């Protein structure tokens, strides 16, 4: 599977450029006529008229003339679109810069097939084609970049029906993993940059929107994808050290759409789609379930004595001392006899549904000589594929700027959003309210409703008596009768003033804020969980309210100077950021009835309050120098002071140094079109991870009663040891990179190799009991990550006059190694059934258990091999790894982790006449998933769950399936099966290749649009997650937990959806 996926991706991404190398290209000249002027003159006039920077090669457009009488300089996009449709011009907008490239002429064919090698001494004097990327507190031409930065433009943020940008960048940038482990509507995906480098602290990258750093773990749904102009991801220390103690996990810089000089431009985009469950986890029907249950109870009964027969009825079995788990329920008999027409309910199909998703966005953009404005507004509505779940969001983004004079500019950027939704706690809320887990456990013999459509509340449990089955809620009743609704209001942004000082200096001051008001209401009526007694006591409600206020003040002074071939820029800045958080959670109980569905209906209350605040004060600077477009050097420094750190470690220093050498600009480098340009990069630096507990350095108190003089008195006791030395987790990064272009710049290649050492990782360290504490939180762990990243980008390729193609492929690998834990500690074992181990010399969160060699088929096998006491025929054969004749903990081994070794992404774009097709393939290789659903089904004998068809078909049965590799069903939960819960049989390979997105569009011809006075209309259909190729048989291949030590755990998670949508996009 691994070789297949890699081969497919490389074939498509690399093979097509090779094919193109033999195609014809064009020179593209035209003859001057009438009112025509050199097209370069049009570019210059348009640049001045719209206050926009243009980057292009003058030699590319030499000899090309344009009819100026047909050109309007008032609208940037309208003019560019006109030039693109009438002349060999391709453009890309990036912030306030337009990059122009010459495309193939539609009528001229090049005579040469292979590019000739010749010297072009004038090329270094021309204005180079280059991109502009965001860096911390500024921008930089990509040709001068010496660090590792991945850039994603607005054109790449389409084709996915989602409310957040995270899902839109899947497979678009090397070294970046985006997972949607819990796909509840409105949930945020997890973004990881260059693997995992911590054991207990946060792993989220710093998100910076228009210069405003958001709090770690912020809900990225508040950022409207339609408002984003560009995303730049800072991956190495040279790029992210300017953010100091917040840069170790990488930095995501987001630039929203800015106003442009010119007439007002209005665009509208709207789509409507249908979602369904992407996975195809088939479960057995009621008749197969009856067979499975009978086998399980029969095998348990027969294993208890030689005088027992499989044909013994219930009375006989009871007389022979059978337990409840050895009796056959009466309701199974008609199913075992094959009586047709019985209840045969698939609970997955009951709770899953086809659900609509829709989005409408509009943008207004324009400006004058003095002022510019951009407004984006969106409405997103999503019904969940699990009944009872939904999400709704209103969001907008406003950017305004005004030149009060030639030297003073002011502006404001504001991003408000309001969202609401109905959710279920799929991960940490326990089995009772997890609808997906309940559906995997509820027997198919029961229906959710009676003949009149009423919920069968009395059948929420699996006939608990008299056969000792598990207690399971009716998932439909949970979905329909409990209330789990939240609302979230968030507004963030800033105002700024920028003053030109002298000729080369600028001073900018910005004041910003981030306000969040969140409310969550939960109600659980007595009818849910009615098997409990007394029923009214189970009615409960809670309400959680929190308000987060974040303030930012920044001062920046920049200097830019160019003298002949020397270019220097410098930055000095100061930042102050503070956050206050206040949360109140009220739990109400003892409801007299279910008529009042909020906390007001309760008669007993419990109130919990959570408050914290943190402050970050920073000073930073950066200086960069370049010479003759050959050498670039950059150095940065930041000093952070944080309230989170201990008294002895309040301040930290962070630095970075990087350099780049444009080798192809040297005189000795052969001037050719096969490989040019070539640039080498190197960077080294350090930064930190401050996502640690706000009070980790303090001794925390908790309520604890004590008896004084025979009287119970309330009090408080310290339960955590103080540590004044606690500080940020430290990261040192070294990066080696190379950028080059092949085949006359048609294929661009960028490669990076990095080494990332993380030290001072937070761990609980045992301390002497005499201190009054058991552990102390200390900076003591060490982890190393290293990896390779590759990006291949194919420049637009024209075949004939109507067909155009371009492609982008990325590949990344990451290797993780634990170098040190706490003193005297060699491993950490944790997770469900202790399935995860983190040990010195291994990777973070490896799956850990026994290696299964097969199934015991007779007692002779058991007696002649090492085994666990109580092992039965049909149990698992466990490998005696150390050969000591005993099966114990020392025979366990690691089986890989839930973090992939390789990540691949491939994006292809096709254009033919008025049609456009683009799609993205995404692949993760070298990872495993612990199938917790399968564990709960099979290893508890009857399983207290419904087996998948895969499990049922491959269970061992000496008569019907002697080659089965899953244990023989048995309600006797033997020690063997308990230990096998963490074993190779459940650590499943989870490589996959997924069609992440596909979009087919049709552009309405210009002659039709002219009559309608509309600039552009595009009709499109798009699909997401349309197929996934994988050997994994579980519900959610992306499933994981929030704990970095227990990655890859699949147990009742909200599944990923697939969707197909129709949409229209218009520009006026």
DSSP string, 516-573: EEEEEEEEE-TTTTTTSSSGGGG-EEEEEEEEEEEEEEEEEEEEEEEETTEEEEEEEE
Contacts of 624 (CB under 8 A, 6+ apart): 140, 144, 568, 569, 570, 632, 633, 634, 635
Helix (H) or strand (E) holding 84: helix 76-86
Using CA atoms in the order 894, 896, 897, 902, what is the torsion angle rounded to 10 degrees?
Answer: 160
At residue 592 the predicted structure's pLDDT band, cuts being 50, 70 and 90, is: confident
What is the C-alpha to C-alpha distance for residues 886 and 555, in angstroms, rounded to an integer? 67
Sheet strands (E) in 77-119: 89-94, 97-102
pLDDT at 108 over 50: no
Helix (H) or strand (E) holding 1026: none
Give the Cβ contact number of residue 311 at 10 Å: 7
Comparing CA positions, the residue from 932, 909, 937 lying closest to residue 921 is 909
Judge contact between 288 and 952, C-beta under 8 A: yes
What are 972's two structure tokens?
């006797």
Query: How does DSSP assign 956-1017, residue by residue?
Result: -BTTTBTT--BPPP-SS--HHHHHHTSBTTTEEE--EEEEEEEEEEEEPPHHHHHHHT-SEE
Helix (H) or strand (E) holding 299: helix 286-302
pLDDT number for residue 169: 93
What is the C-alpha to C-alpha distance for residues 1056 and 1054, in angstroms, rounded to an integer? 7
What is the C-alpha to C-alpha distance for residues 220 and 235, in angstroms, rounded to an integer? 19
Q: Round the average pLDDT of the chain to a whole number and report it.
A: 87
Rounded to two decimals, the pTM is 0.86
At residue 106 the predicted structure's pLDDT band, cuts being 50, 70 and 90, is: very low
What is the C-alpha to C-alpha distance for residues 81 and 100, in angstroms, rounded to an integer? 12
Comparing CA positions, the residue from 12, 10, 18, 20 lying closest to residue 803 is 20
In angstroms, what CA-CA distances link 995 with 419, 886, 998, 999? 29, 47, 7, 11
At residue 427 the predicted structure's pLDDT band, cuts being 50, 70 and 90, is: very low
Q: If you search the block for the tokens 């007595």, which residue do you land on?
A: 526
What are 22's two structure tokens?
């033999």
What is the SS3 assignment for 302? helix
The ranges of the chain annotated as CATH 3.55.50.30 are 29-105
pLDDT at 378 over 60: yes
pLDDT at 968 over 60: yes
Average confidence (pLDDT) over 207-211: 96
Helix (H) or strand (E) holding 245: none
pLDDT in tens, 494-540: 999 999 998 899 999 999 999 999 999 999 888 776 554 444 456 88
What is the C-alpha to C-alpha distance for residues 434 and 1052, in angstroms, rounded to an integer? 7
What is the C-alpha to C-alpha distance for residues 451 and 449, in angstroms, rounded to an integer? 7
What is the end-to-end Cα distance of the chain in Å, rounded? 48
DSSP count for the chain of H helices, then E strands: 16, 50
Judge contact between 513 and 490, C-beta under 8 A: no
pLDDT at 10 over 80: no
Sheet holding 251-256, edge to edge: 149-153, 228-234, 251-256, 206-209, 212-213
Top-ranked range on mean pLDDT: pick from 146-155, 431-440, 649-658: 649-658
29-105 maps to which CATH number? Answer: 3.55.50.30
At residue 548 the predicted structure's pLDDT band, cuts being 50, 70 and 90, is: very high
Judge contact between 1027 and 155, C-beta under 8 A: no
What are 317's two structure tokens?
């079995």
Could you give the residue ranges of the DSSP H alpha helices within 355-482? Answer: 435-441, 464-467, 475-481
In angstroms, what CA-CA distances link 778 with 196, 650, 693, 720? 19, 15, 12, 12
pLDDT number for residue 984: 95
pLDDT at 777 over 80: yes
What is the C-alpha to C-alpha distance for residues 41 and 475, in angstroms, rounded to an integer? 69
Comparing CA positions, the residue from 460, 441, 463, 439 lying closest to residue 449 is 460
> Could you confirm whether domain 133-258 is CATH 2.170.130.10?
yes
Comparing CA positions, the residue from 1042, 814, 1037 lying closest to residue 217 is 1042
**Residue bearing the bigger pLDDT, 339 or 166:** 339
The ranges of the chain annotated as CATH 2.170.130.10 are 133-258
At residue 20 the predicted structure's pLDDT band, cuts being 50, 70 and 90, is: very low
- CA 390 distance to own-chain centroid: 20
Show the 3-state SS of 931-950. EHHHHHHHCCCCCCCCCEHH
What is the C-alpha to C-alpha distance for residues 569 and 556, in angstroms, rounded to an integer? 13
What are 540's two structure tokens?
């409960």
The radius of gyration computed from the CA coordinates of the chain, to the nearest angstrom, equals 32
Helix (H) or strand (E) holding 86: helix 76-86
- CA 447 distance to own-chain centroid: 37
């Amino acid at each position: 599977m691994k070789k297949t996926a890699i081969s497919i991706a490389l074939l498509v991404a690399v093979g097509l450029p090779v094919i193109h190398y033999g195609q014809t290209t064009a020179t593209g000249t035209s003859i001057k006529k009438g009112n025509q002027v050199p097209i370069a003159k049009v570019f210059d006039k348009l640049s001045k008229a719209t206050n926009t920077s243009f980057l292009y090669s003058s030699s590319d457009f030499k000899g090309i003339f344009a009819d100026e009488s047909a050109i309007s300089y008032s609208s940037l996009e309208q003019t560019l679109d006109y030039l693109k449709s009438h002349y060999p011009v391709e453009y890309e907008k990036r912030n306030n810069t337009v990059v122009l490239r010459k495309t193939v002429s539609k009528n001229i064919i090049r005579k040469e097939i292979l590019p000739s090698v010749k010297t072009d001494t004038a090329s270094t004097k021309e204005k180079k084609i280059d991109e502009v990327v965001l860096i911390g507190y500024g921008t930089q031409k990509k040709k001068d970049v010496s660090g590792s930065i991945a850039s994603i433009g607005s054109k790449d943020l389409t084709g996915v029906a989602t409310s957040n940008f995270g899902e839109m960048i899947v497979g678009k940038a090397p070294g970046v993993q985006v997972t949607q482990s819990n796909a509840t509507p409105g949930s945020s995906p997890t973004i990881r940059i260059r693997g995992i480098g911590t054991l207990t602290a946060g792993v989220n990258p710093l998100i910076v929107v228009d210069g405003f750093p958001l709090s770690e773990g912020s809900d990225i749904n508040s950022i409207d994808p339609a408002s984003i102009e560009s995303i730049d991801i800072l991956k190495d220390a040279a790029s992210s050290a300017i953010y100091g103690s917040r840069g170790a996990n990488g930095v995501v810089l987001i630039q929203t759409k800015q106003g442009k000089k010119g007439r007002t431009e209005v665009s509208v985009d709207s789509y409507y789609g249908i979602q369904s469950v992407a996975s195809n986890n088939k479960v057995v029907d009621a008749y197969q379930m009856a067979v499975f249950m009978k086998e399980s109870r029969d095998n348990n009964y027969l294993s208890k004595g030689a005088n027992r027969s499989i044909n013994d009825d219930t009375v006989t079995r009871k007389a022979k001392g059978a337990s409840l788990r050895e009796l056959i329920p009466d309701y199974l008999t008609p199913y075992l006899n094959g009586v047709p027409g019985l209840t045969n309910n698939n609970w997955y199909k009951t709770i899953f549904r086809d659900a609509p998703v829709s989005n409408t966005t509009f943008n207004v953009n324009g400006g004058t000589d003095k002022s510019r404005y951009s407004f984006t507004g969106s409405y997103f509505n999503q019904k969940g594929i699990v009944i009872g779940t939904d999400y709704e969001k209103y969001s907008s983004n406003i950017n305004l700027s005004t030149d009060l004079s030639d030297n003073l500019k002011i502006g404001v950027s504001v991003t408000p959003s309001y969202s609401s939704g109905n959710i279920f706690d799929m991960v940490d809320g326990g089995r009772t309210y997890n609808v997906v887990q309940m559906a995997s456990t509820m027997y198919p013999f029961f229906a959710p409703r009676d003949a009149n459509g009423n919920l069968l509340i009395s059948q929420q449990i699996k006939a608990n008596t008299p056969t000792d089955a598990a207690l399971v809620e009716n998932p439909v009743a949970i979905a329909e009768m409990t209330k789990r609704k939240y609302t979230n209001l968030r507004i963030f942004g800033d105002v700024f003033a920028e003053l030109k000082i002298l000729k080369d200096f600028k001073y900018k001051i910005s004041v910003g804020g981030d306000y969040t008001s969140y409310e969550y209401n939960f109600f659980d009526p007595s009818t849910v969980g009615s098997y409990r007694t007394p029923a009214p006591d189970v009615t409960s409600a809670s309400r959680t309210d929190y308000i987060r206020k974040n303030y930012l003040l920044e001062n920046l002074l920049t200097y830019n100077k160019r003298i002949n071939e020397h270019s220097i820029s410098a930055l000095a800045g100061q930042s102050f950021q503070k956050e206050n958080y206040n949360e109140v959670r009220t739990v109400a109980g003892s409801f007299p009835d279910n008529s009042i569905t909020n906390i007001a209906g309760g008669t007993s209350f419990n109130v919990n309050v959570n408050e914290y605040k943190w402050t970050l004060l920073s000073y930073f600077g950066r200086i960069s120098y370049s010479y003759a477009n050959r050498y670039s050097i950059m150095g940065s420094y930041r000093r952070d002071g944080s309230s989170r750190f201990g008294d002895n470690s309040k301040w930290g220093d962070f630095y970075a140094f990087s350099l780049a050498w444009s080798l192809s600009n040297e005189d000795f480098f052969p001037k050719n079109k096969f490989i040019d340009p070539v640039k080498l990069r190197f960077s080294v630096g350090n930064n930190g991870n401050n996502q640690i507990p706000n009070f980790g350095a303090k001794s925390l108190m908790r309520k604890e009663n004590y008896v004084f003089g025979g009287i119970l008195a309330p009090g408080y006791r310290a339960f955590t040891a103080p540590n004044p030395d606690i500080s940020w987790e430290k990261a040192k990064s070294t990066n080696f990179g190379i950028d080059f272009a092949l085949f006359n710049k048609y294929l661009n290649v960028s490669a990076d190799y990095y080494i990332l050492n993380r030290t001072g990782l937070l761990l609980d360290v045992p301390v002497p009991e005499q201190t009054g504490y058991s552990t102390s939180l200390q900076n003591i762990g060490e982890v190393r990550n290293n990896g390779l990243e590759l990006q291949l980008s194919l420049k637009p390729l024209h075949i004939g006059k109507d067909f155009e193609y371009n492609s982008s492929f990325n590949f990344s690998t990451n290797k993780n190694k634990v170098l040190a834990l706490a003193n005297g500690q060699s491993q950490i074992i944790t997770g469900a059934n202790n399935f995860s181990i983190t040990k010195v010399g291994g990777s973070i969160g490896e799956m850990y258990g026994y290696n299964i060699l097969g199934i015991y088929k007779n007692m002779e096998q058991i007696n002649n091999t090492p085994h666990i006491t109580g092992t039965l025929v049909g149990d698992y054969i466990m490998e005696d790894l150390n050969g000591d004749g005993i099966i114990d903990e020392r025979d366990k081994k690691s089986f890989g982790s839930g973090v992939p070794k390789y990540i691949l992404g491939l994006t292809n774009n096709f254009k033919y006449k008025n049609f456009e097709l683009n799609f993205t393939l995404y692949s993760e290789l070298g990872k495993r998933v612990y199938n917790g659903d399968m564990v709960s089904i099979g290893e508890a004998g009857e399983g207290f769950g419904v087996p998948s068809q895969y499990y049922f078909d491959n269970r061992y049965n000496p008569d019907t399936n002697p080659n089965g590799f899953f244990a023989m069903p048995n309600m006797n939960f033997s020690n063997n099966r308990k230990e096998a819960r963490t074993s190779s049989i459940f650590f499943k390979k989870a490589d996959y290749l997924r069609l992440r997105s596909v979009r087919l569009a049709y552009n309405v011809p210009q002659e039709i649009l002219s009559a309608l006075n509309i600039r552009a209309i595009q009709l499109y259909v798009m699909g997401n997650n349309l197929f996934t190729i994988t050997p994994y048989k579980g519900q959610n291949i992306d499933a994981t937990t929030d704990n970095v030590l227990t990655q890859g755990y699949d147990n009742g998670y909200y599944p990923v959806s697939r969707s197909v949508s129709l949409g229209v996009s218009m520009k006026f």
